[in-house]
């Protein structure tokens, strides 16, 4: 899939929702156009003194229902089209979970693994200063995404706060706890993936205890999803990272302990398998939790899982999606399955605003309430309208944004 098609896919999904909601051509125009896009040059002085210039982006796709909200991605594939597509998905994701946000995404076309700690800090601070005029707790609130983590959020918060003259924790979410981060944010996306998995199994009538799960990706989403589904009684049979996968381990902690010590998941005594082999395992649940375009027209045919839970954003191409649907596989779409991250980001922002912090139990309970409500709504609309869960999730998310547009009216 070419880079343009990430945007094509997102637009095609929107088009379908607009039709299913019987919206007008004017609605389509409004909904398919990003509210604000910014491209900036991000020069970086490398540790060896050389200067490199990267491209930075921030797209505020929608601000109709509240401040723009979404992650910042450091990856070589980042460009304007991909950022618009992901910002569009954030918009429907926030509306689906009924958070008082619009949607946004940002990023830099850089390989985060190629950066030393100090290069990463310089790059992040420079990028922040370039997008500074359009972010803020009431305007647009960044968060971690692929290739960024709580360190980046701390630097963004500091750069913004230095300019403001006082600490502004609410300008980003996914911060370290001591800077106003929320308990439970680190595991939130994985926790939400696990809740979605459990509910999908229930709906399919598959016993949760002992249900087999294969997870592609062992990062911020995949690792926590693995821990959470295991806690619920499922059996994680395979995990992978960029270098490939393994199977035959005792439990997720065994893989994690090895990863912490050795920096890889190749636990001695376990069988290796390729990322493709992992996708095609005979399991109850497959969780793609890495990058986009994992499930394509090539890889979808041999998928044997009964349920696919999209931990990553846009892991399935439209062709791959059609094949999964034909095979009767239940696909829990990204904007539902991985929404736990932004839901707890919302809790973090609320806590920062109130300057009053919740305990972990409160975070987990509130996350569960919001996710369960969204899952139930998606299931209901899917049954009522006879559409897939992806279409249903879009109908709900897009519908809410369209309604908000209508009620606000057009200025002037």
Residue 273 CB contacts under 8 Å (≥ 6 apart), including other chains: 238, 240, 244, 245, 246, 247, 281
Q: Which among 93, 105, 175, 364 is annotated as catalytic?
A: 105
- Closest distance between ligand GLU and the C-beta of residue 351, in Å? 14
Q: What are phi and psi of 329, to 5 degrees?
A: -80, 130
Footprint of ligand GLU on residues 269-328 (CB under 6 A)?
Answer: 313
Q: Which of 173, 197, 216, 240 binds ligand GLU (CB under 6 A)?
A: 173
- Closest distance between ligand GLU and the C-beta of residue 143, in Å? 3
Q: Which of 59, 342, 374, 402 binds ligand GLU (CB under 6 A)?
A: 342
245-248: long-range contacts at Cβ-Cβ below 8 A with a sequence spacing of 24 or more? 245/216, 245/272, 245/273, 245/274, 245/275, 245/277, 245/278, 246/270, 246/271, 246/272, 246/273, 247/271, 247/273, 247/278, 247/281
186 binds ligand GLU (CB under 6 A): no
Nearer to ligand GLU, 62 or 212 (CB): 62
Footprint of ligand GLU on residues 42-71 (CB under 6 A)?
Answer: 69-71
- Closest distance between ligand GLU and the C-beta of residue 273, in Å? 27
Regarding beta strands 140-144 and 68-74, do their DSSP bridges make them parallel or antiparallel, or are they unpaired?
parallel
In the residue annotation, 364 being an active-site residue is answered as no
- Closest distance between ligand GLU and the C-beta of residue 188, in Å? 8
Nearer to ligand GLU, 71 or 333 (CB): 71
345 binds ligand GLU (CB under 6 A): yes
264-273: long-range contacts at Cβ-Cβ below 8 A with a sequence spacing of 24 or more? 265/218, 265/239, 265/240, 265/241, 270/246, 271/246, 271/247, 272/244, 272/245, 272/246, 273/238, 273/240, 273/244, 273/245, 273/246, 273/247
Residue 168 CB contacts under 8 Å (≥ 6 apart), including other chains: 136, 137, 157, 160, 161
Nearer to ligand GLU, 69 or 400 (CB): 69
**Order of strands across the sheet with 103-108?**
36-45, 51-62, 103-108, 68-74, 140-144
Distance CA(198)–CA(232), nearest Å, equals 8
- Closest distance between ligand GLU and the C-beta of residue 58, in Å? 13
Binding region for ligand GLU (CB under 6 A) out of 44-52, 272-280, 334-342, 356-364 = 334-342
Residue 133 CB contacts under 8 Å (≥ 6 apart), including other chains: none
Binding region for ligand GLU (CB under 6 A) out of 56-64, 296-304, 339-347, 388-396 = 339-347
Footprint of ligand GLU on residues 109-148 (CB under 6 A)?
Answer: 143, 145
Classified as helix, coil or strand, 60 is strand
Instruction: Write b or e for each residue in 154-189: b if 16 or more Cβ atoms lie within 10 A of its Cβ, otherwise e.
Output: bbbbbbbeeeeeeebbbbbbbbeeebbbbbbbbbbb
- Closest distance between ligand GLU and the C-beta of residue 51, in Å? 29
Nearer to ligand GLU, 275 or 313 (CB): 313
Q: Which of 311, 341, 397, 399 binds ligand GLU (CB under 6 A)?
A: 341
Question: Which residue is it, tokens 């982006």?
Answer: 57
Nearer to ligand GLU, 63 or 212 (CB): 63
Nearer to ligand GLU, 283 or 367 (CB): 367
Nearer to ligand GLU, 281 or 396 (CB): 396
Distance CA(199)–CA(114), nearest Å, equals 39
- Closest distance between ligand GLU and the C-beta of residue 343, in Å? 8
Binding region for ligand GLU (CB under 6 A) out of 277-285, 299-307, 340-348, 381-389 = 340-348
- Closest distance between ligand GLU and the C-beta of residue 53, in Å? 25
Distance CA(207)–CA(83), nearest Å, equals 39
C-alpha 290, offset from chain centre:
10
Nearer to ligand GLU, 150 or 284 (CB): 150
Under rule CB under 6 A, how many of the chain's residues touch ligand GLU?
Answer: 11
What amino acid positions are annotated as catalytic residues? Answer: 105
Binding-site ranges for ligand GLU (CB under 6 A): 69-71, 143, 145, 173, 313, 338, 341-342, 345
């Amino acid at each position: 899939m070419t880079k343009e098609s990430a945007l094509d896919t997102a637009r095609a999904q929107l088009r379908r929702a607009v039709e299913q909601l019987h919206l007008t051509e004017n609605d389509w125009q409004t909904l398919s156009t990003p509210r604000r896009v910014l491209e900036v040059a991000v020069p970086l002085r490398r540790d060896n003194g050389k200067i490199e210039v990267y491209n930075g982006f921030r797209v505020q796709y929608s601000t109709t229902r509240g401040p723009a909200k979404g992650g910042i991605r450091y990856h070589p594939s980042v460009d304007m089209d991909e950022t618009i597509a992901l910002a569009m998905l954030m918009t429907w994701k926030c509306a689906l979970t009924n958070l008082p946000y619009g949607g946004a995404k940002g990023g830099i076309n850089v390989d985060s693994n190629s950066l030393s700690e100090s290069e990463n800090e310089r790059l992040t601070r420079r990028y922040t200063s370039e997008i500074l005029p359009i972010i803020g707790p009431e305007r647009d609130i960044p968060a971690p995404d692929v290739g960024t983590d709580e360190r980046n959020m701390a630097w963004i918060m500091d750069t913004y706060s230095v300019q403001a003259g006082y600490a502004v924790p609410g300008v980003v979410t996914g911060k370290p706890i001591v800077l106003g981060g929320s308990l439970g944010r680190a595991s939130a996306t994985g926790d939400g993936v696990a809740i979605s998995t459990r509910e999908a199994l229930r709906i399919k009538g598959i016993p949760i205890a002992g249900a087999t799960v294969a997870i592609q990706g062992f990062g911020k989403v995949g690792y926590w999803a693995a821990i959470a589904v295991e806690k619920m009684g499922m059996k994680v049979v395979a995990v992978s990272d960029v270098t490939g996968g393994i199977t035959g381990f005792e439990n997720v902690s065994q893989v994690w302990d090895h990863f912490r010590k050795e920096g890889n998941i190749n636990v001695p005594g376990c069988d290796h398998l390729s990322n493709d082999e992992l996708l095609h395992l005979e399991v109850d649940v497959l969780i793609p939790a890495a990058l986009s375009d994992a499930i394509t027209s090539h890889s979808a045919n041999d998928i044997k899982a009964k349920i696919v839970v999209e931990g990553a954003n846009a892991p399935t191409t439209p062709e791959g999606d059609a094949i999964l649907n034909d095979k009767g596989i239940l696909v829990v779409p990204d904007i539902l399955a991985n929404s736990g991250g932004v839901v707890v980001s919302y809790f973090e922002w609320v806590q920062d605003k109130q300057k009053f912090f919740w305990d972990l139990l409160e975070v987990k309970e509130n996350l569960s309430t919001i996710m369960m409500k969204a899952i139930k709504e998606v299931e209901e609309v899917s049954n009522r309208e006879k559409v897939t869960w992806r279409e249903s999730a879009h109908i709900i998310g897009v519908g809410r944004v369209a309604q908000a547009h209508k009620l606000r009216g057009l200025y002037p």
